[in-house]
Structure 1
Amino acid sequence: VVRPQNYFEPLPWHARWDSGRMLLNRLTGGDWPGTLGVRRSRLQATNGYDGSVMFENLELVRTVLASGGREAVLYDAYVLRRPSTTRHFFSQRVRQAYDEIARPPRFVAQLAVLPIIIALAVTGHWLAIALCFLTLVIAAEIGRRRAHATRFFPRSTPIFAPLWMAERAVCSWLALGARIFLGGVPYRGTILHRAATPMRVLRQRYAAAPAPPIVPAPAAPRRSA
């Protein structure tokens, strides 16, 4: 499965805000785009992937890996993504935070941000808070400079990384509350319970599955002399 990187065009304020997330992700394993490329025979051999989870693209990648496939993160392949409406952007905040339940170390780290910032604020460590914000801006700028992403992310986008992290710090706790009190996160009139299937479960499921056949590319037609 091939995982390219998204960028927004045009760039209303909320697309710039979400671009901060994309840039940080480029330092931690790559952004998760809305576009993936997957070998058809590989996916057919698994009978598809479970679409009843919140983090669908992670579910697809994990399914391919568990069935013996490989993942390639293409940091230098960029796919245009049109920004959502402002209303849809707000509706995604808690849902995207809920995605990280599928990756417990990241989720725990994001849960820890809010208590740490509150503790620093209560004790008057404003310089430490400012340094945290500056570190996020620098990290996002490094992500912007990786693999020539400066062509697609304006200079202003790293400034939004601390704002996105502050949002995620709050929404992670809301996502945890949804998990505890609702059993999942509301989505299109229903409750989605799982963020994604754990890798160990998928590996057990496909342990005895045969490797999918490799389908060769069709040969080019011969030209008559």
Structure 2
Amino acid sequence: MSFSEAYSWINIQFLLEGLLITVEVAFYSIIFSVILGFILGIIRYFDIPVISKITGWVVDIIRNLPLLLIIFFTYFALPELGLSLDVFWSAVAAMTIFEASMISEILRGGLKAVPKGQTEAGLASGLTRIEVMRYVLLPQAARDTLPSVVSQLIALIKDTSLATIITLPELTHNAQIIYGQDTAYVIPMFAALAFFYFIICFALSLFSKYLARTIAFRASEL
């Protein structure tokens, strides 16, 4: 087993190309899933007739399906329904759908944890329901649920490796190609994968701590 040969510039460059794809998939998936998750969570919290119930059914179904099945669906089944996506956007769509359902439940739980008296006080002071949600409920729910949301997003980053099943040229896929050429590279590639995934996830956790401090500071000013 030769680490120097496994970590040749050509292999490192190939891994970095895969890392870039992993980061791009994670970036778009995080943005879209957070936005969609917040929307779905708010819809369920408001308990809108019919709409909230249908949304709840869809969310519950998605949450109880394997992510791998959703990836297969977006890549293989959607074209049969007239919506064809390339491998990159199929992975992003699958990650977004799955993670948004998780985040929506986290947010809904956070919103329900805020005492109802605060909503009633906000409405009594002349605020609309949307303003109460924006200025009273969401800041508190976001602060309380941030650790759970970040944990879910870190899981999303690691789950991007599942997209190798549809030949997305991300980090794990490229590492498999490298050690597939020489089995002596298996351990060096696993070490490289562990290093890169740790760096990405650790960076996200540090950013979340900064964000939590920012939210707490702004909340103290209100």
TM-score (norm 2): 0.30
TM-score (norm 1): 0.30
Of structures 1 and 2, the one scoring higher in RCO (CA 8 A, sep 6+) is 1
